[in-house]
Amino acid sequence: MALIVQKFGGTSVGSIERIEQVAEKVKRFRERGDDIVVVVSAMSGETNRLIDLAKQVSDQPVPRELDVMVSTGEQVTIALLAMALIKRDVPAVSYTGSQVRILTDSAHTKARILQIDDQRLRADLKAGRVVVVAGFQGVDEQGNITTLGRGGSDTTGVALAAALKADECQIYTDVDGVYTTDPRVVSQARRLTKITFEEMLEMASLGSKVLQIRAVEFAGKYNVPLRVLHSFQEGPGTLITLDEEESMEQPIISGIAFNRDEAKLTIRGVPDTPGVAFKILGPISAANIEVDMIVQNVANDNTTDFTFTVHRNDYLGAQQVLERTAQEIGAREVSGDTKIAKVSIVGVGMRSHAGVASRMFEALAKESINIQMISTSEIKVSVVIEEKYLELAVRALHTAFELDTPAHQGE
């Protein structure tokens, strides 16, 4: 008998019919004798509908009130799924994040989980109930409802699996596993049987939308076996694990991630003095804006040009902060570009193979794609290019690293 945490995303619970299908799936696991905790998202489109309502009242809704509002989406789903299970003679009980007491910090709309009180859940499991928990939400020390940011239900699922020491955390979604890249962009993309936490972390952070990055971080930190599965098709999915042995026999590159939601800001003519990077990025960080890639060029006249990328949603906010900074430190000008994208190659095999970056640059050069920024780590190389070349770049790299062929499926 295993303890399994199952998470179903918005499309998996997008209608009453689909909620009934999820209930059938959960019932089958229950009949096998497994203890089940189910984490669900809001029905697809519901969170967007709630945010749109809020924006009809205010262009910039107060984050605390926005959390109160959007957290209701999951509350509807947990109750419906619990009802569907009970109808099938499967004892079930639903809980919001605050009822479980998923304790978070107070960073509204992007809170982080600090602690989970698992006593209530364990008591229910012991009594033979399926526990249905609202994903994406928690409560802070003051009792305020918080949400974990987009995709936060994945994080809820993994965090609960870690707290309960579950045998596996299964993430059910509208894809049947983790692919070498987005199959909508590259039709020859392949499903991976297995991928390491490290590779998945890079893929998630670089724009692969299959899993939220914090969910992968959590899973890696607490060694929670994570499996990505299709909600309504049978199959083994992709197992995300600590084990690197098999991956080392796989190709150098496991996958290609990309992100369209990028924007670039440049501040030119900055006096090149010690601490200049902090003067520029400190205020950006204070505005709760995450910076991704950074490039600094020092000119002959003792000034520096400083370029960095942010999420496109943060572009205007970052630009306003940077304009103020430019005035304060005597910089020449601020410019920006929202028509960029990031493409990354990822693989633990890079550690034991030289020349991976040059092979990437050669593939892009053959397609006359100009590279604007480069960032590397032990198992990834990322480049910023013009957005219009994104799909061409991904296809070219997928072929260049021989990910198109069935031999590299990892089967």
Phi, psi of 294 (to 5 degrees): -135, 135
Is 275 annotated as contributing to ligand binding?
no
220 is in an annotated binding site: no
Strand partners, 337: 264
CB atoms within 10 A of CB 95: 20
179 is in an annotated binding site: yes
Count of alpha carbons within 13 Å of 125, Cβ hemisphere only?
A: 20
232 assigned binding-site residue? no
Residues 283 and 301: their CA atoms lie apart, in Å, by 26
47 marked as binding residue: yes
- Selection from 347, 161, 340 nearest residue 251 by Cα: 347
Question: What whole-number distance in Å separates Cα of residue 321 and Cα of residue 151?
Answer: 28
What is d(CA 7, CA 153) in angstroms, rounded to the nearest whole number?
7
315 known member of a binding site: no
Q: 264 a known binding residue?
A: no
Do the Cβ atoms of 341 and 397 come closer than 8 Å? no
Find out whether 209 is annotated in a ligand binding site: yes
Q: Is 109 annotated as a binding residue?
A: no
* Residue type, position 103, single letter: L
Q: What is the distance between the alpha carbons of residues 98 and 347, in angstroms, rounded to a whole number? A: 39
- For the stretch 216-221, contacts whose Cβ atoms lie closer than 8 Å and that sit 24 or more positions apart, written own/partner, are 216/158, 216/240, 218/113, 218/155, 218/158, 218/159, 218/162, 219/158, 219/161, 219/162, 219/169, 221/162
Provide the token pair at 98. 């605050």
- Residue 89 tokens read as 């003679």
Q: Please, are residues 257 and 320 in contact by the beta-carbon 8 Å criterion?
A: no
Residue type, 171: I
Ligand-binding site membership of 301 (annotated): no
Euclidean distance between CA atoms 299 and 170, whole angstroms: 52
Q: Which residues are annotated as a binding site?
A: 7-10, 47, 74, 173-174, 179, 184, 209-210
Which residues does the annotation place in the binding site for ATP? 7-10, 173-174, 179, 184, 209-210
- Binding residue numbers for substrate: 47, 74
